[in-house]
Structure 1
């Protein structure tokens, strides 16, 4: 992303009434953030949902001063910036309609590893929750997953620390700008986290950890990862919001069950009872449902059925799976450039034709 593109995108996001969804719509119709500011009144009003009020707000050039100040902070602090159309933008977040237009990060984050899971829960973690988290991450360590959490008290920081003990990459998604650390007592963990992982946010350096920011932060935690794990939660709490968002994003959700009398198991038990989460008793449950394997199994070649006719789109999907092996439905949709609803129909047809098979964890492979 060039400096001009970044400046204009930052400025666009500072326009009152322009959030991630509206900004994406404007950029899509105009071609770029810069083109939005250069567009005529007629061009802008032709976009569905853009009226006189928003048009007038887009004439506010004072936002460029704010954008320039933020660019200065970004450059002086070597902050990494990912634009939602860039190749380095997290794949799974691209499928989230309200995913951030810009993501800011620090450290050494590598998202090439697709085994990303988020581990969240109460800030009042109990010994039961702490022991389960430690055992879970230890057992998953041979698969080298990336552990994502919110860097908060309780479950979050415990998950980050255990991940670092096993030399796993861990990412803290924070609800404020990268010019500060919250809570301040966690500053001692920053350097080690940035050695193998780091921090990610959509918030500017001018943003403080205000209450409403944590809900916005939670959608990144849920959207960034393949699955969200709730370790412990009372009947209300931020981790339950994250679970609901993950379900809305069509992600797998897991919850650790507990005694019905335990306050910080009530939320998890309710998620399981209402079928909003898979029951998680060990790493084996997650490995099975997500179709993770400790090592690739060698399979004998299968003689394919002859004379099967595939439609053009079916052939495209089949060729992709043949080349890349088993894959998540979200990634197939992204790489084959087709919407999920269309792909789901194609996959069912192809399964009936006997050329692909479904796997646990919303994955598919060619036969």
Structure 2
């Protein structure tokens, strides 16, 4: 058996974390040595709890089953990448708690291309969902790879935005690679395998337990050059991701919100602590040193790149501020549809809000 196969066996041990794995490798010379170490030696190493030693011993009784699963992975389009292999993401290598191996469907984010995580509340507002999708789309269109966690709410919207722009997006899962969670995102799960990648350090069959998600958040932040928080409560998994990103020296952006809105509490707290204010895609792109093509010289070219309803709203705007009700009347669109178009035009730098419900065209 190869060293990689022994690592695979050890990855099946419940609760055996990355840091412990690396310490065991150092103690016993290699992963083969860890797998075959005597029970007494495992206990005397003072690396593992009694429960974890018992877990390793129990896993050994299932070696034949695990080896069969390893051999069948390729047939299921599942890749298993060890930390020493060339294709292992360079962004993860510097960290002591990096995953010893990653299970993957699809591909890894390209090392030489900017990455941004977009995360936030599962039970986000409609505004939060729209902003997550809009930022995912606009950043992806500019060439940024989008990272998130496939959760309901902000995560799913960010992934969809990236896919809508024809870009690449990657999900770091809190369960086994063969489990789609949440089940509502099955179509998204399948699409991302083709258009980006699904990644996890948890072995096949691992259920999405609550304790898994804070653990996976360190991978989301480590894979990202910048982390964007759209909506989050003051105590939430998104803030764990933000804290990890700050510890890793990453840039954190937060979308400001109303002080009376609980879902903006986390973002406002981050801003109070020094996070970068997120108002438009160019805020992130300027950090990456990328040019944001928010304006086109010719009005005709601008119209070509807009969707039908956005073009309708854009066409009725001019340099004189118009009230929202007037825009509604001119376009014949519904309130929600018209508001969404205006938000997207604002994000693209093509429209501006000049006062309470007044909008104008930006040339």
Same fold (TM over 0.5): yes
The aligned runs of 1:93-108 (5 Å cut-off) are: 93-108=92-107
Which ranges in structure 2 are unaligned for 5 or more consecutive residues?
A: 294-363
Conserved? CA contact 1:107–1:194, under 8 Å: yes
The separation in 2 between residues aligned to 1:266 and 1:160, in whole angstroms, is 24
What RMSD in Å do the two structures reach over aligned CA positions? 2.9
- Structure with greater Cα Rg: 2
- Match for residue 274 of structure 1? 273
Conserved? CA contact 2:148–2:155, under 8 Å: yes
- Match for residue 32 of structure 2? 34
Residues 126, 38 of structure 1: CA spacing in aligned structure 2 closer, same or farther, 3 A cutoff?
closer
Cα offset, 1:137, TM superposition:
3.2
Residues 73, 152 of structure 1: CA spacing in aligned structure 2 closer, same or farther, 3 A cutoff?
farther
Cα offset, 1:138, TM superposition:
3.9
Q: Does 1:8 align with 2:13?
A: no
- Match for residue 337 of structure 1? none
The aligned runs of 1:52-131 (5 Å cut-off) are: 61-131=60-130
- Match for residue 283 of structure 2? 285
2:80 match: secondary structure = strand
1:114 match: secondary structure = coil
Residues 63, 210 of structure 1: CA spacing in aligned structure 2 closer, same or farther, 3 A cutoff?
same
Of residues 27-36 and 77-86 in structure 1, the stretch that sits farther from structure 2 once superposed is 27-36
Q: Does 1:22 align with 2:20?
A: yes
Residues 73, 222 of structure 1: CA spacing in aligned structure 2 closer, same or farther, 3 A cutoff?
farther
Cα offset, 1:227, TM superposition:
1.4
1:297-345 per-position Cα deviation (integer Å, ceiling 9, x unaligned): xxxxxxxxxxxxxxxxxxxxxxxxxxxxxxxxxxxxxxxxxxxxxxxxx
- Match for residue 264 of structure 2? 265
2:102 match: secondary structure = strand
1:135-180 per-position Cα deviation (integer Å, ceiling 9, x unaligned): 4234323431111111111001100111000011011111111222
- Match for residue 229 of structure 2? 230
Cα offset, 1:291, TM superposition:
3.4
- Match for residue 241 of structure 1? 240
Conserved? CA contact 1:7–1:64, under 8 Å: no
Conserved? CA contact 2:118–2:155, under 8 Å: yes
Cα offset, 1:221, TM superposition:
1.0
Which ranges in structure 1 are unaligned for 5 or more consecutive residues?
A: 296-367
The separation in 2 between residues aligned to 1:271 and 1:240, in whole angstroms, is 8
- Match for residue 177 of structure 1? 176
The aligned runs of 1:326-345 (5 Å cut-off) are: none
1:45-98 per-position Cα deviation (integer Å, ceiling 9, x unaligned): 996747999888766632524532441452331211111122111112112221
Residues 181, 57 of structure 1: CA spacing in aligned structure 2 closer, same or farther, 3 A cutoff?
closer
1:211 match: secondary structure = coil
Conserved? CA contact 2:130–2:157, under 8 Å: no
Residues 63, 12 of structure 1: CA spacing in aligned structure 2 closer, same or farther, 3 A cutoff?
farther
Conserved? CA contact 2:254–2:268, under 8 Å: yes
The separation in 1 between residues aligned to 2:179 and 2:52, in whole angstroms, is 33
1:231-277 per-position Cα deviation (integer Å, ceiling 9, x unaligned): 011222211111112122222111111111122111100111122x2
Residues 288, 76 of structure 1: CA spacing in aligned structure 2 closer, same or farther, 3 A cutoff?
same
Q: TM-score, normalised by structure 2?
A: 0.71
The separation in 1 between residues aligned to 2:207 and 2:37, in whole angstroms, is 33
The separation in 1 between residues aligned to 2:50 and 2:156, in whole angstroms, is 46
- Match for residue 164 of structure 1? 163
Conserved? CA contact 2:133–2:160, under 8 Å: no
- Match for residue 196 of structure 2? 197
The separation in 2 between residues aligned to 1:163 and 1:84, in whole angstroms, is 28
